[in-house]
């Protein structure tokens, strides 16, 4: 299995630009999570989906952030417009709820720098 | 409510010494507990998990953790540290539906030669 795939691995953009981060979960997993990691705030859950439906988006910092999951094998996290304080590493994770599993598998992350 | 406290943001041990990373949790339901490791510039990797079976859980790379309900703890240990263990370690507790995780702030382990 290829694991969780994220792209791009690095993104540098200017303030005000739109940024789109992409995630392909592990095949067959029914949960998908987006996290943000910074030195100041640690690891924060932004949003998660179950069977492509958003379940909890209470961690999304503001309306500039949006996430979609059009099908079971793809999700995007969009920031529009981006700001320097959005600079962070963004992780996608997926899990399988069946058989009392629940453990989350993380992707390698996207390091976002907004100048 | 669910939460995790990791005591000590930085822990330093000598190679060959015991590793002890502390995790205390708060949970409104019987918890599932997890330890993850993060190497520099990588994602988080599961070390071990407790899901209400045996209270002593063995994981990868020689790590183990013991669930102690009376102490609300799930400390991570390894008898003998190796240089390759240097990384950041995160403890997590699951929420009532078991799918949402609450992560601690992490503990960076430094291993001295």
Q: Which residues of B touch A97 (CB under 8 A)?
A: 98-99
Whether the pLDDT of residue A1 is over 70: the answer is no
Best probe of the A interface among B6, B96, B100, B107, by most A CBs < 10 A, is B100
As a whole number, the mean pLDDT across chain A is 94
Contact B99 A50 (CB under 8 A): yes
Residue in B32, B44, B49 nearest the CB of A106: B44
Q: Flag if B43 and A4 touch (Cβ within 8 Å).
A: yes
Q: What is the pLDDT of residue A100?
A: 64
Length in residues, chain B? 113
pLDDT at A53: 96
> pLDDT tens, position by position, for chain B (113 residues)?
889 999 999 999 999 999 999 999 998 888 899 999 999 989 999 999 998 778 899 999 999 999 999 999 999 999 999 999 999 999 999 877 778 899 999 999 999 99
What distance in Å separates the CA atoms of residue A79 and residue A63, rounded to the nearest whole number? 9
What lies within 8 Å, CB to CB, of B16 at 6+ separation is B80, B81
pLDDT exceeds cutoff 70 at A101? no
Using an 8 Å Cβ cutoff, are A9 and A108 in contact? yes
Banded pLDDT at A84 (limits 50, 70, 90):
very high
């Amino acid at each position: 299995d290829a694991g969780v795939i994220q792209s791009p691995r690095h993104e540098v953009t200017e303030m005000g630009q739109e940024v789109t981060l992409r995630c392909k979960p592990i095949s067959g997993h029914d949960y998908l999570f987006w996290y943000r990691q910074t030195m100041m705030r640690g690891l924060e859950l932004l949003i998660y989906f179950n069977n492509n439906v958003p379940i909890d988006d209470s961690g999304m910092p503001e309306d500039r952030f949006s996430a979609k999951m059009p099908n079971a094998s793809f999700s995007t996290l969009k920031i529009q417009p981006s700001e320097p304080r959005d600079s962070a590493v963004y992780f996608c994770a997926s899990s399988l709820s069946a058989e009392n599993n629940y453990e989350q598998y993380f992707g390698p992350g996207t390091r976002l720098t907004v100048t | 409510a669910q939460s995790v406290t990791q005591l000590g943001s930085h822990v330093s041990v000598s190679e060959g010494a015991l590793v002890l990373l502390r995790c205390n949790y708060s949970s409104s339901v019987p918890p599932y507990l997890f330890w993850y490791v993060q190497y520099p510039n990588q994602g988080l990797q599961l070390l071990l998990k407790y899901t209400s079976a045996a209270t002593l859980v063995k994981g990868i790379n020689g790590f183990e953790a013991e669930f102690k309900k009376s102490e609300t703890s799930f400390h991570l240990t390894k008898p003998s540290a190796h240089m390759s263990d240097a990384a950041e370690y995160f403890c997590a507790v699951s929420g009532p539906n078991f799918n949402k995780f609450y992560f601690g702030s992490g503990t960076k382990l430094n291993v001295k030669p």
